Amino acid sequence: MIALETFVHREPAMAAPILFRIINTVTRLIERPLYPWHDTLMFVAGNCRSVAKQLIRILLHQLSSSGIFLQLFDTNIERVNQFWSTISFALTDFPELNPVSVIQYLLEDILEDWPNRLSRILFNLSTYVEYVSPDAYFSHWSIVTNLLDSFFRQYLSK
């Protein structure tokens, strides 16, 4: 896991073509605990599941300004519910990039560079939103609400 993170960090151009496969594989490792002591919400240093969660967090945080969320949400995902629930779970206690920030970055990317097709993006967004807590991150939700308003206004004008 550490070698994988180092590879993505040091050689982003080489990692770009396989980035989704990396993220998908790491989410599967988070999703299925190998041992009973892995199945805990507590962060345990050295635990492979904790290292995988940290890899997802850092990877998405580092690439958040590069349009990673627009690419992720525009991808055909095989196990869509498991994938998005794991992403949301991995970001739940990460203050630099919380689950609502993902929606915020996605909407900002869409408004900045309007995609040709929105169906897959909206499908993945609707699936992801199911796993985001509506009670947490109040300040972020207000920003997302404003971005959704801008999104629908722009959508209706196209």
Domain residue extents for the chain:
2-157
pLDDT in tens, 42-51: 656 667 788 8
pTM of the model: 0.87
Better-scored residue on pLDDT, 38 or 10: 10
DSSP 27-48: HHHHHS-SSGGGSSSS--TT-H
Confidence (pLDDT) at 37: 60
pLDDT confidence band for 15 (50 / 70 / 90): confident
